[in-house]
């Protein structure tokens, strides 16, 4: 059992009344976090990175826990506002207002690559009203925008590490003792837990028609939305958020790779190669692709449009492909406990099918043209129906 994670969860429940319901929630949340931590370690993350990812995945839970009754004596009383006393003859002095940056602005002339590395942030990429790149955040002090060569980086600043470092520096000036060590650990855990409820939305606006060579958008526990011209190479990855892509015009990405662990993915746009993957969400593609690969563990996989080659797989969801082109050459659809449905475009001929289902039915309206047919279809399900229409 990881003591740091246990301490973070305990800290989140420190003011909550102890009853059967809160104990059950505490136990469930702790077990989920420990399982998530072990999975991240097995995937090659360091202990620090895994703990950081677990903390980010707790986004929103602080508000849920705060809804439960508090311990006796922990009710928060509304603080009366302080009323300043001003001498009658003394002129009132207004403190100078600090100017905080409201947005980051740069020219797109030298920018060919856009990358983000965000934590508990929702990210929206849209179209700017001028010919400049704009980056906005509800609190610009939470992010860092910097240009490196032809790349623009937008990164979330780690306030937790800064707080822990300051606590450690302060402790180094004190007499080293068990009490000081425990105090330092407590501050570190409190800092991590307090950051769980913090979420800053980030907005990036790109000039209309700007097609970057590469766009890599990463957000650990936030949603990512793209409403702009597609870049040549697009990569979006979330740990626990939804991914939505809406191409602003008719441009096509050479390659688009979209993935999330516990969210839905929706692609509305064209790409040469499309790869979509979700652990516990639906994946949906609407567009034109040369090759398309859609995977979901416990969600549905749907493709609507045209493609040359298609590979779709789901463990416990339905797989559906509805094609508008008749020149597709290969389709593979598999599901363990869901239905597999393939609807071919009018005029499709020369089809060879290999269908199977253990406890479901199979049906195909096309005559089999043999192993040399132009279109090869493999469709199977263990406990679902398989149909080719």
Burial-class residue 245 by CB neighbours within 10 Å (0-12, 13-18, 19+). buried
Query: CB within 8 A of 79, min separation 6: which ones?
Result: none
- pLDDT of residue 58 exceeding 90, the answer is no
Average pLDDT over residues 57-84: 64
Torsion (CA) 76, 80, 81, 83 in degrees, nearest 10 = -150
Copy the structure tokens of residue 160. 């937790």
Average pLDDT over residues 212-234: 95
Average pLDDT of the residues of the chain: 84
Copy the structure tokens of residue 171. 């402790």
pLDDT band per the 50, 70, 90 thresholds, residue 336:
very high
Do residues 5 and 33 make contact, with C-beta atoms less than 8 angstroms apart?
A: yes
Q: Can you tell me which residue has the tokens 């060590």?
A: 181
Do residues 305 and 286 make contact, with C-beta atoms less than 8 angstroms apart?
A: yes
The segment with the largest mean pLDDT, out of 40-44, 243-247, 296-300, is 243-247
Tell me how far apart the alpha carbons of residues 290 and 63 are, in angstroms, rounded to a whole number.
45
Task: Name the pairing type of β-strands 133-137 and 103-106.
Answer: antiparallel
Do residues 248 and 265 make contact, with C-beta atoms less than 8 angstroms apart?
A: no
- pLDDT of residue 212 exceeding 50, the answer is yes
- Position 97 scores a pLDDT of 56
- pLDDT of residue 345 exceeding 50, the answer is yes
- Position 123 scores a pLDDT of 95
Average pLDDT over residues 41-46: 82
pLDDT in tens, 347-377: 999 999 999 999 999 999 999 999 999 999 9
Helix (H/G/I), strand (E/B), else coil: 232: coil
Do residues 386 and 338 make contact, with C-beta atoms less than 8 angstroms apart?
A: no
Copy the structure tokens of residue 383. 């406990």
- Position 275 scores a pLDDT of 98
Share of the chain above pLDDT 70, in %: 80
Nearest to 310 by CA among 298, 296, 322: 322
The residue with greater pLDDT, 222 or 166, is 222
Do residues 312 and 330 make contact, with C-beta atoms less than 8 angstroms apart?
A: no
pLDDT band per the 50, 70, 90 thresholds, residue 112:
very high
Nearest to 243 by CA among 220, 276, 265: 265
- pLDDT of residue 86 exceeding 80, the answer is no
Q: What is the model's pTM?
A: 0.70
Query: CB within 8 A of 295, min separation 6: which ones?
Result: 276, 277, 278, 283, 301, 312, 313, 314
Task: Count the neighbouring beta carbons within 10 Å of the beta carbon of residue 208.
Answer: 14
- Position 368 scores a pLDDT of 94
Do residues 271 and 253 make contact, with C-beta atoms less than 8 angstroms apart?
A: yes
Max intra-chain CA distance, the chain: 101
Nearest to 117 by CA among 237, 253, 292: 237
Domain ranges of the chain: 3-66, 101-230
Tell me how far apart the alpha carbons of residues 318 and 334 are, in angstroms, rounded to a whole number.
9
pLDDT in tens, 260-295: 988 999 999 999 999 999 988 999 999 999 999 999
- pLDDT of residue 83 exceeding 50, the answer is no
Q: Can you tell me which residue has the tokens 């040359």?
A: 308
The segment with the largest mean pLDDT, out of 71-75, 156-160, 203-207, is 203-207
Copy the structure tokens of residue 165. 């470092």
């Amino acid at each position: 059992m990881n003591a740091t994670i246990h301490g973070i969860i305990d800290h989140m429940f420190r003011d909550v009344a102890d009853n059967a319901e809160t104990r059950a929630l505490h136990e469930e949340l702790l077990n989920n976090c420990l399982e998530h931590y072990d999975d991240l370690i097995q995937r090659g993350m360091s202990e620090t990175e895994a703990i950081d990812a677990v903390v980010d995945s707790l986004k929103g839970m602080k508000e849920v826990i705060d809804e439960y009754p508090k311990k006796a004596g922990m009710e928060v009383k509304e603080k009366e506002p302080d009323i300043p006393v001003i001498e009658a003859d003394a002129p009132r002095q207004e403190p100078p207002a600090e100017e905080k940056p409201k947005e980051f602005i740069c020219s797109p002339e030298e920018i060919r690559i856009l990358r983000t590395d965000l934590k508990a942030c929702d990210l929206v990429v849209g179209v700017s009203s001028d010919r400049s790149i704009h980056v906005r955040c509800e609190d610009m002090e939470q992010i860092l925008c910097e240009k490196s060569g032809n790349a623009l980086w937008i990164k979330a600043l780690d306030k937790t590490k800064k707080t822990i470092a300051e606590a450690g520096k302060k402790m180094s000036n004190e007499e080293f003792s068990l009490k000081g060590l425990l105090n330092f650990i407590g501050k570190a855990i409190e800092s991590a837990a307090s950051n769980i409820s913090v979420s800053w939305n980030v907005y990036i606006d790109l000039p209309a028609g700007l097609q970057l060579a590469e766009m890599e958008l990463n957000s650990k526990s936030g949603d990512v939305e793209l409403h702009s011209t597609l870049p040549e190479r697009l990569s979006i990855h979330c740990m626990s958020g939804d991914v939505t892509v809406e191409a602003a015009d008719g441009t096509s990405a050479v390659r688009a790779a979209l993935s999330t662990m516990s969210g839905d993915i929706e692609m509305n746009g064209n790409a040469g190669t499309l790869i979509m993957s979700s652990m516990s969400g639906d994946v949906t593609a609407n567009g034109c692709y040369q090759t398309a690969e859609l995977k979901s563990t416990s969600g549905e996989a749907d493709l609507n449009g045209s493609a040359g080659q298609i590979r779709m797989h789901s463990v416990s969801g339905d797989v559906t492909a509805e094609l508008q082109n008749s020149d597709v050459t290969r389709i593979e659809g598999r599901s363990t406990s869901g239905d597999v449905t393939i609807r071919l475009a009018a005029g499709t001929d020369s089809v060879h099918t290999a269908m199977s289902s253990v406890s479901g039915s199979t049906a195909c309206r096309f005559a089999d043209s043999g192993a040399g047919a132009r279109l090869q279809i493999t469709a199977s399900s263990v406990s679902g129906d398989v149909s080719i229409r």
